[in-house]
Amino acid sequence: MSKKNGEKRNKSDYVPNPCEKEREQSVENDSPVSEEHTEQIENTGSVVASHKDSIIQCLTIIGQIEGHYILPSQNKTTKYEHVIPLLVSIEEDERIDGLLILLNTVGGDVEAGLAIAELISGMKKPTVSVVLGGGHSIGIPLAVAAKKSFIAKSASMTVHPVRSTGLTIGVPQTFEYFQRMQDRITTFVSDNSKITKKRYNQLVMNTGELVMDVGTILNGKDAVKEGLIDYVGTLSQATDCLYDMIKKNKKSGGKPGKKESNNEKESNHKKESNNKKESNGKKAEN
């Protein structure tokens, strides 16, 4: 029977619109705080984010880089057996356009860190790293592995020689092994940043800064000045840079941009420093 004129109708009297439920469900699934996204962050330390027509994967590398031995449960760790397959899936997934790496790490296992850094360096897709808090020890190769790198003003990076825990045999072969491992790190860093091997080794073997150790602590501006990191900046600058790289990548048909050779990096770094000196001189004259 129809309702009399003037009587109020209840919601139950109307046929529900199925589109409204679909819209609510899609908004819930797409939300960055949805249960699905929260579970992904807990399991892998990563999340997928979209902006207009671009989709990026955000990966966090935090705490200590865990290697072949499981660290105590109270330690915050990044497990390389989780990160390596994730990087492969990001590279092969056509839906993902770029990778944003957020670093706040004290370092850790050298070979595990280098393995992750080599994978990031070899990716065709646009990659940007941001050092937040700290990118110490083996965190340095991880930071410079991306095509563009940023560091927060308040962040720092500790450059120091390779060290070992546990039993060490005091023979020349042991020290030669350490030297070879240090050379692997130095070569990777110099190949993927603007710093030279000679200057990096000078920072590594600095004895006048750390009281109980050998090495150098670089803050955000110093890391850029030394050529380790490209720019001082945080999240907004890094994401803008990544989206610009994605646009250029799409225009070029997905072809990866050529990396500068070490000589080109050195000459460009010298040009930049000379231009700064010239501009500072002109300001002083004015």
Residues labelled as active-site residues: 137, 160
State how far the alpha carbon of 70 is from the alpha carbons of 74, 82, 110, 136, in Å: 11, 13, 15, 20
Q: Which residues contact 82 (CB under 8 A, 6 or more apart)?
A: 44, 45
Determine the Cα–Cα distance for residues 226 and 151; give it in Å rounded to an integer. 13
Q: Assign residue 281 a region: left if phi > 0, alpha if psi is -120 to 50, beta otherwise?
A: alpha
* Joined tokens for residue 14: 């109307």
**Residue 137: strand, helix, or coil:** coil
* Joined tokens for residue 266: 């050195």
CB atoms within 10 A of CB 70: 10
Strands 77-79 and 127-135, how do they pair? unpaired
State how far the alpha carbon of 28 is from the alpha carbons of 33, 40, 49, 113, in Å: 8, 15, 14, 36
8 A C-beta contact, residue 24 and residue 66? no
